[in-house]
């Protein structure tokens, strides 16, 4: 039997969740994760976390055979990723959990923005946060 290699993934929940095809039920059994359940989960974390200003991170994993793993990793250097095999990593994952964390603006940010606007600067904020998180 071929060895299995487990790849763990962490990222923005809205990026991780669509890549998952499985989750765990209440008894800890791995079960299929369909689009209706994904929409239900996204609605839950958006309403309960993102709209309150929390950033949400999703955690998942993917089990690969050694053969699959070696198609992703370049044979010349095990530390370099062969992006031709990226689909093997980023799809068919198992969703494990979601965490929410508060990432508040620093106190001086609002003051600095007001000061810049008074000086005639058009302030634009660029963020990689979920839109609901960014506007809170």
Residue 16 CA from chain centroid, whole number: 4
Structure tokens at 5: 């290699």
**Helix (H), strand (E) at residue 57:** strand 54-65
Report how far residue 72's alpha carbon sits from residue 49's, in angstroms, rounded to the nearest whole number. Answer: 35
CATH assignment at residue 75: 3.40.1110
Structure tokens at 135: 């506007």
pLDDT of residue 37: 95
Q: Judge whether residue 106 has pLDDT over 80.
A: no
Q: What is the tens place of the pLDDT at every residue in 65-85?
A: 888 777 776 655 556 665 666
DSSP 91-106: SSEEEEEEEEEE-PPP
Q: State which residues form the domain around 16.
A: 4-134
Structural domain count, the chain: 1
């Amino acid at each position: 039997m071929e060895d299995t290699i487990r790849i763990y993934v962490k990222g923005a929940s809205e990026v991780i969740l669509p890549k998952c095809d499985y989750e765990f039920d209440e008894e800890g059994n791995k079960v299929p994760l369909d689009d209706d359940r994904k929409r239900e989960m996204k609605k839950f974390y958006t309403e309960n976390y993102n709209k309150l200003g929390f950033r949400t991170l999703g955690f998942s994993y993917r089990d690969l055979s050694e053969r699959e793993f070696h198609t992703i990793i370049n044979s010349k250097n095990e530390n370099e990723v062969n992006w031709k095999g990226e689909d093997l990593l980023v799809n068919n994952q198992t969703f494990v959990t979601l965490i929410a964390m508060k990432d508040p603006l620093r106190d001086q940010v609002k003051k600095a923005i007001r000061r810049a606007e008074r000086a005639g600067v058009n302030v634009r904020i660029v963020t990689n946060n979920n839109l609901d998180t960014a506007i809170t």
